[in-house]
């Protein structure tokens, strides 16, 4: 069975992070986008992602402040601005396609991260065995 890396977006402190799940290790990795530096974080449970993201973001923002550096990545070219503005414009386009407001789309992305995947053949077999055990032995 071929595995694909699962991806989703999590918004922490108003900043989007692309979250992937490594199917080999079941470790989540989040990478903030639109910042003037790579800020990533790792978690072994989906429920830990917002906290780990907030911690990584706090460290990055403190480093930016200490070095008197702006935390947002500037857009290259014209018009001047920030990459984050472009990202939110893309979010707004997706929200419009779904018939949502940008605010409701962002709120949806702030919900607890729940990876979705089909159970493996082994997991199906184990679930079936547990069901049979409950039915006949409990």
Residue 115 lies in a domain: yes
Residue 27 lies in a domain: yes
For the CA atoms of 72, 76, 79, 85, the dihedral, rounded to the nearest 10 degrees, stands at -30
**Which residue range forms the structural domain that includes residue 114?**
6-137
pLDDT band at residue 79 under the 50/70/90 scheme? confident
Residue 1 lies in a domain: no
- What's the whole-model pTM score? 0.69
Vertex 85, ends 65 and 113: CA angle to 5°?
85
In this predicted model, what pLDDT tens digit does every residue of 11-35 receive, in sequence order?
898 899 999 988 888 899 999 999 9
Q: State how many domains the chain has.
A: 1
């Amino acid at each position: 069975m071929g595995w694909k890396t699962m991806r989703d977006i999590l918004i922490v402190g108003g900043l989007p992070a692309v979250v992937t799940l490594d199917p080999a290790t079941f470790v989540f990795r989040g990478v903030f986008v639109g910042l003037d530096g790579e800020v990533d974080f790792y978690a072994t449970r989906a429920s830990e992602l917002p906290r780990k993201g907030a911690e990584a973001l706090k460290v990055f923002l403190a480093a930016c402040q200490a070095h008197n550096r702006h935390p947002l990545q500037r857009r290259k070219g014209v018009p001047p601005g920030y990459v984050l503005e472009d990202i939110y414009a893309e979010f707004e386009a997706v929200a419009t396609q779904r018939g949502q407001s940008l605010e409701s789309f962002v709120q949806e992305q702030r919900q607890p991260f729940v990876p979705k995947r089909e159970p493996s053949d082994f997991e199906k077999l184990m679930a079936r065995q547990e069901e049979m055990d409950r039915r006949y032995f409990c």
